[in-house]
Homo-oligomer: A and B are copies of this chain.
């Protein structure tokens, strides 16, 4: 099948599929005229990539996961370690975002939000307020 069909089946844009080939994540066959020619295994790889990317794994993590996918003898522990590291990373990000939110919410709360120029948010950003 050509790249358009592979795109539909894998839910990945053609641009992304070509990019993945560029960085050696997948190597489809080529037709006589040079068109990329994907088989079912290729589509499975692409779906694997689509799923792992959508779960927040980076390209390099996906590359690692793919190599484990390819290795029928990998230990499940190796995979679990990656997943748990990603979970910890997500936790860190959430914590940081919550902290930012608290700060912004405190600033917004003190701001009248009217048409007057007095604005605690700007004052804070300018370093004019106590911390």
Contact = CB atoms under 8 A, between A and B. Distances in A.
A79 interface: yes
Interface string A76-117: 110111011011001101100110110111011001111111
Contacts of A90: 97, 100-101, 104
A121 interface: yes
Dominant SS among interface residues on chain A:
helix
A104 B55 CA distance: 8
Copies of this protein, total: 2
A34 interface: no
Contacts of A75: 114-117
Interface residues on A, range: 35 or more
Given A87-B108, A114-B75, A126-B69, A80 B121 contact: yes
A8 interface: no
A74 interface: yes
B72 A121 contact: no
